[in-house]
Amino acid sequence: MLTSCALVSWQQAAPMTGIPSSPTLSLPAFPQTGGCQCGQVRYRLTAPPFVLYACHCTSCQKQSGSAFGLSLWVRKNDLHVSGSLSSMQRIAGSGKRVTCEFCPECGTRLFHTRARPGQTLNIRAGSLDETGWLVPAGHIWTRSKQGWVEIPRDALTCETQPENYDALTARWQEMMQNGA
């Protein structure tokens, strides 16, 4: 059974001087571009995303072949894709059905979309051409994170699946204001 838990809000175990209350996010100029490893699929993102977070669930570890997934939520209308995509469906850690899209040539996973029609989708953020500006607003499914991964103690975290993403998107807004 999945249990939802409240996102932990900002806490300071000890006074930390010179450290802002939330990280700074310096958004790049848009559009930003990205694509798969072989270049068959290319995309253009024309507006800033809603939020970026890291997911440490075992499914994201499996999918990425790495330690966690980086989900960048954007409006569908802001994403323009060229090339052909293949897809598969799976049940996410949230219990929702997700359509996963990838390049049929090289297999790079690019987009995750909830099967129910929505206005947003998530880009696997490592597929962007420029990744230097990415700072996750929080970390979810930390219960299954790999032992070596150190999450900053000021980070928003959730042990499993958060009930909603309100705290994450609020943190993302703060981070953008810090960088403005």
Binding site for Zn ion (CB under 5 A): 36, 38, 40, 55, 57, 60, 69, 103, 105-106
Whole-angstrom Cα distance, residue 46 to residue 21?
29
CB nearer Zn ion, residue 105 or residue 154:
105
The smaller minimum CB distance to Zn ion, of residues 103 and 167, is found at 103
Comparison of 69 and 138: residue with beta carbon closer to Zn ion: 69
Nearer to Zn ion, 58 or 77 (CB): 58
Shortest Å distance, C-beta 40 to Zn ion: 4
Taking the C-alpha atoms of residue 96 and residue 116, their distance in angstroms, rounded to an integer, is: 9
User: Which is nearer to Zn ion, 162 or 174 (by Cβ)?
Assistant: 162
Q: How far is the CB of 94 from Zn ion (least distance, A)?
A: 9
CA angle 33, 118, 31 (to 5 degrees): 15
